[in-house]
């Protein structure tokens, strides 16, 4: 069962948390590894994964091989320790590894989460 953009009973929402910006990840009850949308823990293989609400902050990481269809997706290492591929909302020159991002909208059915740049990235003369 995946929990992306869904509210769980008892989830606390802050005033700055708007509808549709909740991102849930999973934490293994045995080894405490965090993961995103898995059936088994990638470390110990346990099925005892509990959904938890992400803070929504992370850093863009290095993109390995990608297809033309996935050209606008970037891996984002979230503060809780899991990695999720996201669409990045920002100027193309600023989207690169090491830039801090914050969740703009959570994934709907069949869609990827959207993140926004946290700080302004200056032009570096390449454009």
Q: Looking at the 3D structure of the chain, how many domains does it have?
A: 1
CA 99 to chain centre: 14
Give CB contacts under 8 A, 24+ apart, made by 39-47: none
Q: Is the pLDDT of residue 14 over 80?
A: no
Q: Is the pLDDT of residue 109 over 60?
A: no
Predicted model pTM: 0.74
pLDDT at residue 89 in the model = 87
Distance of alpha carbon 79 from alpha carbon 92, whole angstroms: 23
- Which domain range does residue 43 map to? 24-117
Asked whether residue 100 is assigned to any structural domain, the reply reads: yes
Asked whether residue 107 is assigned to any structural domain, the reply reads: yes
Q: What is the CATH number of the domain that holds 36?
A: 2.40.50.140
Tokens of 55: 């803070």
Of 11, 115, 106, nearest in space to 57 by CA? 115
Cβ atoms 38, 1 nearer than 8 A? no
Q: What is the pLDDT of residues 52-91, one digit of tens each?
A: 999 999 999 998 887 777 778 899 999 999 999 999 888 8
Average pLDDT for 2-24:
51
Average pLDDT for 25-39:
95
Asked whether residue 125 is assigned to any structural domain, the reply reads: no
Asked whether residue 16 is assigned to any structural domain, the reply reads: no
């Amino acid at each position: 069962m995946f929990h992306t953009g869904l509210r769980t009973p008892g989830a606390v929402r802050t005033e700055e948390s708007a509808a549709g910006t909740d991102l849930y990840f999973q934490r293994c009850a045995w080894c405490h590894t965090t993961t995103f949308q898995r059936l088994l823990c990638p470390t110990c293989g346990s099925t005892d994964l509990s959904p938890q609400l992400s803070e929504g902050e992370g850093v863009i990481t290095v993109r390995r091989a990608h297809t033309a269809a996935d050209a606008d997706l970037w891996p984002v290492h979230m503060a809780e320790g899991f990695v999720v591929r996201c669409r990045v909302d920002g100027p193309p020159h600023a989207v690169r590894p090491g830039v801090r991002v914050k969740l703009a909208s959570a994934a709907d059915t069949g869609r990827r989460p959207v993140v926004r740049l946290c700080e302004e990235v200056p032009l570096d003369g390449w454009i």
